[in-house]
Structure 1
Amino acid sequence: MSDHELPHVAAPPPGLLALEARALLEAARFTFIGPKLRGIPQGTGQPVMIIPGFGTNDMATLPLRSALIKLGFNAYGWDFGTNLGMRSKIKTGLVRRLEQLNEHYDAPITLVGWSLGGVFAREIARHQPQLIKRVITLGSPINGHPDANNMVTLFRIANRGKPVKTDIEGFIKRRIPPPVPCTAIYTRRDGIVTWSCALETEAEHTESVEVHGSHMGLVFNRQVLKVIAERLVQA
């Protein structure tokens, strides 16, 4: 397979990338003032794990998890430090942790993945669907062309300047949604991932939901919190 089999989509323009700075304000408002919880469904202890985006860790998703806990859900981080890409040790550890949570709750777990974390969530659900109730992605590059984002530079830094090889065949396969309910949350003002590439492939068990805000602010977004809560209370 080749990249000619994928529609070429450009990365978000510099203007949108610059606007990602507004995520600082979004984070401050969400973290210190707190989201308005009125009108958001209350949970009854449903378990959910949130996988952070590339270059971030559980501290970045703590405000979102705290809000979910206030709403009555059991929200967990991924507990594997900074997300610098999938490694075999992390993959094995995540599956083991999900197995433990499944045993504890006697129920499958909802996985929420922010940006690259959403790619991880979908792949885990693809290979271990019995462990996963639903996957929710936040601005994740799950469709379109692998170059349709502004993450290449960050990947190069993480790989100590080495060229980053694009797995076109793997990317094409990943466009197919895993066999569990999938919700893709996206924003048209995304400065990191081209918004059209964050949409789920249409299927009976998939949906794409638009919110307003920045890519970096998706974990500090009341609309995102509401969508997650609404999906968590679904049977």
Structure 2
Amino acid sequence: MIPKPSLPDLSPPSLGASALARRVRLASEPEDQPVSRPRLWRLLGELECLAEPVRRQFRSLEVAQSANPSIVLILPGFATHPGRMRYMARQIERAGHKTKRWGLGWNWGASEDSLASLEQRLDEVCERYERNVVLLGWSLGGLYARELAKRKPDCVDKVITMGSPFSGSLRANNVWRAYQFVTGHRVDQAPIDVDLGTKPPVETVALWSPNDGAIHPRSAAGYPEERDRAIALRCTHMGFSYSTEAIGAVLRELERV
């Protein structure tokens, strides 16, 4: 029996004056060269997520029963909690799949401790259900999913990323300054040994959107050698976690496992 992983402390630390000043410098540092990002009006469009809880009350979403039920480990985006993906998880379970949380609470950035705990979590889920798992990662959660599949390919059937910036510059997004302030490290110098552009040795599908206000579409779509397939949606970045389009795309991919 594999012991249940101990959870690393992923909460934002209490900052002293010097640490706070350093994070402010990281968040405001100049760029060496210009990088393409979604336009500001795209970022403002992300605010439509505020109306989602109301709209959801009037939405009727038909979900077909799966002929190929899977175990799905869900990894949330940066600065979000698994609860943010609860609506999508419920629809996946309505189709007959089993969803599992990543077990680390809020996602406050990349670290070797959290990736090691995820390896244990994946082992635990695979052992419990005696089968491989589909990794479904939103934004930063998708980067975790790709690296986890590289470390534990024998436990993974498939990787599905949603708006995850695995290709090109890690500054090709509108949240890199916020990331550096929260984590205390540069977005392209995370304290973890990874090669984001290398494709995992399992089927890897990238969901991306030209309407993404946070992540540059090319970063989330990648190039052919970096993933097996890229599927264009029309949702916002936040919409990856709840839009009917994103839910439908995920369910179709689960049928293809």
Q: TM over 0.5, yes or no? A: yes
Per the alignment, residue 15 of structure 1 pairs with 41
Match of 2:91 in 1: 67
Unaligned runs of 5+ in 2: 1-32
Structure 1 residues 190 and 165: CA distance shift in structure 2, 3 A: closer
How is 1:148-167 mapped onto 2 (pairs within 5 angstroms)?
148-159=172-183, 162=184, 164=186, 166-167=188-189
Deviation string for 1:155-192 (max 9, x for gaps)?
A: 13313xx4626239x89931121111011001101110
Q: Which residue of 1 aligns with 2:238?
A: 216
Question: Which of these two proteins has the greater Rg computed from alpha carbons?
Answer: 2
Counterpart of 1:106 in structure 2 is: 130
- Residue-pair matches, total: 224
> Amino acid of the residue matched to residue 120 of structure 2?
R
**Residue matched to 1:37:** 62
Which position in structure 2 is the counterpart of 1:199?
A: 221
- Is the 2:206–2:227 Cα contact (8 Å) retained in structure 1? no
- Aligned counterpart, 1:225: 247
Q: Which of structure 1's runs of 4+ aligned residues deviate more than 6 A? A: none
Change (3 A) 1:118 1:27: farther
Q: Which secondary structure state, in structure 2, belongs to the residue aligned with residue 173 of structure 1?
A: coil
Indicate how the Cα distance of structure 1 residues 186 and 219 shifts in structure 2: closer, same or farther if over 3 A, else same: same
Residues in 2 aligned to 1:27 and 1:123: alpha-carbon distance in whole angstroms? 32
Whole-angstrom distance in 1 between the partners of 2:227 and 2:44: 35
Distance 1:136 1:90 in 2: 19
Q: Which amino acid letter does the alignment assign opposite residue 61 of structure 2?
A: K
Distance 1:207 1:8, change over 3 A: farther
TM-score norm. by structure 1 comes to 0.86
Contact kept? 2:65, 2:94, Cα under 8 Å: no
Return closer, same or farther for 1:204/1:172 CA change in 2, 3 Å cut-off: closer
Alpha-carbon distance between aligned partners in 2 of 1:77 and 1:35, rounded to the nearest angstrom: 25
- Give 1:225 deviation, angstroms: 1.2
Deviation at 1:20, TM superposition (A): 0.8
Match of 2:202 among 166, 171, 180: 180
- CA deviation after TM superposition for structure 1 residue 14, in Å: 0.9
Matched, 1:122 2:120: no
- Give me the whole-angstrom Cα distance separating, in 2, the residues matched to 1:192 and 1:27: 21
1:68 counterpart SS class? helix
Q: After alignment, is 196-205 or 130-139 more displaced?
A: 196-205
Identity of aligned residues (%): 25
Equivalent pair of 1:146/1:171 in contact (CA under 8 Å): no
